[in-house]
Structure 1
């Protein structure tokens, strides 16, 4: 059952006169939850469509009172996006001004939903893609006009963008690099924190000087929300999102140790091609190559600037408002099996 909020309730939280009905596909995990919070703060009526496997919960730094207010004013539809019949039965395309598709991985995820909005009055279909679609290049940073890699493991994102384009649905697409911040379920920041916290070396593939791009989840949410009322600019475009600068892998380890108050990080470099790691395990959370993007187009079109404008500010927030709490709750995995392979080969004691 879908609960509808009253116009009076909505107007009571409006920061401005313009409020819209927004459908988020996902909305309760990480980037989707941050987007829901951002849209709610602007007074928009938010509906989350997902399988209800992850119950809504407060975002780190969000008070219980604010969370309950956000929860009360939202609508929830339980359904499987991969089931076209469920989509047609549960989603009325005439009810939504904007769609934010946060979790499509393949064209088969995207097409059934997008087809609902063909010929509708939808202002914009905002698609979460990935900077991982770009073809590896010797000229950096990646810009939105750069060639894409049809063999990318994110090929489904590219196919989804092509699908939206072919259907004529007014859309724009976001291509973030590594999304970070409190609540991140991908062990990007935690990889560094957990090793430094355990006084272990940080194992880094290659020479450690590969440059990579981090972006804070709150900045991503603001950029995506800023599409609203800018569809005359954004339709048909893609937007890179990350911090304004890039940082080396070694630099990430050093900054992580700094925000943790641990002094210098011990770093061990290795050649990933010369070692065999346990099957199914990932030795390092980032791709061993230069991987960062230019964000000027997003800054110009969306009137957007990252608030977390240094890796230090991103890691500090992730450490203070996530890692220390997860550790206190006993939620760390403490899995260093891949590290031990590296350290044994290097003759280094953990």
Structure 2
């Protein structure tokens, strides 16, 4: 197939471009040209926020367009309109954040209530972008991804844990150990984007609830980084009472009060029926650590997202050391 990826050099876009090339597709990527491109792709350069920034896309035709944009919706709508009639399918990488933040809700499915379209934050951006894809005249797949982990992660969640465990010593582990987690390996997300192209409508693209646990994830991470850490499990309520922020200071982990059910108990039956497959947690953790070892400057970090991690002094105080 002829595939156009809007992005294609960062996290989700890079994993998707690599997989598409490996499958033998003819891959074009469009981005600002600020990162090294994936091998064997055609690169078009432009800034979607600048006047005339989409000019490089005014010619050409593709079977599938995959848009990984994560900011304001206008850029998505402009691309969808420009490519309408010159591409068969459009895939937009959205987010489960588009659902209404209701901590008492049952597992969120594709027909669950959505956030306020006027929300000025990330949820609103994603929801408005979904609406903007209506400018494309053809099937539009809305891939509502959950927590995304794996190689090329530039948010810093799993890389932070791997780095902390590699440092070793007494290490705060947020309980309970059997806390069920739900995430998607970026490579499994990429496979779904390619395989499901041509379908229409929203799909929650994340692993089944309980794909792994906090205990399994940290045990594997400790093992693959050299088993240097002495994991000290503390009850989640004690950690939260000390003022530690779930998700940011202790990445991946959430409490019932901070959105655990929203993030880790989503309904993914529709995506599974459409062919979503999720690799074991060990593969995700091991491959992310292997990738990190190739980066002399450390893990990349997006400037538009807060840098995750817990201050060592706060950790030591909580552990009583």
Q: Considering the TM-score relative to the shorter chain, is it more than 0.5?
A: yes
Equivalent of 1:294, from 267, 270, 289?
Answer: 267
Q: Which has the higher strand share?
A: 2
Following the alignment from structure 2 to structure 1, what is the Cα–Cα distance between the partners of residues 291 and 78? 36
Aligned to 1:193: 162
Query: Which string of whole-angstrom CA distances, capped at 9 and with x for unpartnered residues, describes residues 75-114 of structure 1?
Result: 1111011235231x32136522221101232212212212
Aligned to 1:314: 284
Aligned to 2:126: 157
CA contact (8 A) 2:95 2:143 kept: yes
Aligned to 2:303: none
Does 1 or 2 have the higher relative contact order (CA < 8 Å, sep 6+)?
2
Structure 2: segments with no counterpart, 5+ residues: 255-259, 301-306
Matched, 1:116 2:86: no
Equivalent of 2:181, from 205, 209, 212?
Answer: 212
> With structure 1 as the length reference, what TM-score do the two structures score?
0.74
Equivalent of 2:15, from 25, 34, 40?
Answer: 34
Task: Note the aligned Cα RMSD (angstroms).
Answer: 3.1
Structure 1: segments with no counterpart, 5+ residues: 1-19, 58-66
Moved over 4 A (4+): 166-169, 204-210, 332-337
> With structure 2 as the length reference, what TM-score do the two structures score?
0.80
Deviation larger for 145-154 or 176-185? 145-154
Q: From the CA coordinates, give the structure whose radius of gyration is larger.
A: 1
Deviation larger for 334-343 or 245-254? 334-343
CA contact (8 A) 1:115 1:167 kept: yes
Equivalent of 1:238, from 202, 216, 221?
Answer: 202
Give the secondary-structure state (helix, strand or coil) at the position aligned to 1:129. strand
Q: How does 1:48-63 map to 2 (within 5 A)?
A: 48-56=29-37
Q: How does 1:1-350 map to 2 (within 5 A)?
A: 20-56=1-37, 67=39, 70=40, 74-87=41-54, 89-92=55-58, 95-118=61-84, 120-135=85-100, 136-150=102-116, 151=119, 153-165=122-134, 168=137, 170-203=139-172, 210-228=179-197, 231=198, 234-235=199-200, 237-246=201-210, 247-260=212-225, 262=227, 265-268=231-234, 269=236, 270-272=238-240, 274-275=242-243, 282-286=248-252, 288=254, 289-290=260-261, 291-292=263-264, 293-301=266-274, 303-306=275-278, 308=279, 310-319=280-289, 321-326=290-295, 329=296, 331=298, 338-344=311-317, 346=318, 348-349=320-321
Cα offset, 1:266, TM superposition: 2.4
Cα offset, 1:207, TM superposition: 5.4
Count of aligned pairs: 299
Following the alignment from structure 1 to structure 2, what is the Cα–Cα distance between the partners of residues 180 and 222? 14
